[in-house]
Amino acid sequence: MSAATAVPAEISLQPSCRKTAADALTIVRDGVITGEGPTTRGRIHFSRALDADDAAWCARILTVSAVDHEPVSRAEIEALFEISDAAAERTDDGRFDDLLAKAVAHHAASESGLPVPPRTVALSPDTPIESWAPVKAANIDTKVLEWIASEMRGKRHSNHRLAALVATLVGAAALPLAQLPGMLDMGLL
């Protein structure tokens, strides 16, 4: 994040819980939509654009120390999907898509009762998702996979990294296609 995008007083980048982290992500979403607001202050930002600073805001919010050892929540994932949907143009070199895929994997694994590393490790651009995300999906809750598929269905921006992850999990779980309607429409299977 550049010096021009220092933390404004209006945004708490020190969320005390996953709910306040999700709320802070909606402020980033609003900045992506309008090109204005506290997350865009001090820099040129076009509406409906997602840049490296926006991705950095999201990463900082998701990895503050108060939530680092908690699994990524559904509300945080929903906010990330809203940010992704809001951005018609991307100039972040894929950092946001990487962050979204890792956050979804973190949530899916934890909701399924699997161990997950701290967020600072799991969501780091330097940590390959394959080093910690579940490769055996037999233990992934099918309701979580269904929810992820429903979130991805009909999205304007296709996250190839997330699609590959979901396809791998679905394939490994050997779920009947009837359990995940619309997966064929998304080109995942």
pLDDT digits (tens, 9 = 90+) for 30-83: 999 999 999 999 999 999 999 999 999 999 999 999 999 999 999 999 999 999
Number of folded domains that form the chain? 1
Please indicate, yes or no, if residue 188 is contained in any of the structural domains. Answer: no
pLDDT in tens, 127-179: 998 898 876 556 778 888 888 888 887 665 667 777 777 666 655 444 444 44
Q: Are 18 and 76 in contact (CB under 8 A)?
A: yes
- Spatial CA neighbour of 169 closest among 135, 120, 129: 135
Please indicate, yes or no, if residue 186 is contained in any of the structural domains. Answer: no
Please indicate, yes or no, if residue 185 is contained in any of the structural domains. Answer: no
What pTM did the predictor assign? 0.80
CA distances from 105 to 6, 37, 88, 132 (A): 29, 30, 24, 9
The CA angle 149-152-154, to the nearest 5 degrees, is 120
Please indicate, yes or no, if residue 41 is contained in any of the structural domains. Answer: yes
69: containing domain = 8-179
Please indicate, yes or no, if residue 14 is contained in any of the structural domains. Answer: yes
Token pair belonging to 166: 């979901």
Please indicate, yes or no, if residue 114 is contained in any of the structural domains. Answer: yes
Please indicate, yes or no, if residue 68 is contained in any of the structural domains. Answer: yes
Please indicate, yes or no, if residue 46 is contained in any of the structural domains. Answer: yes
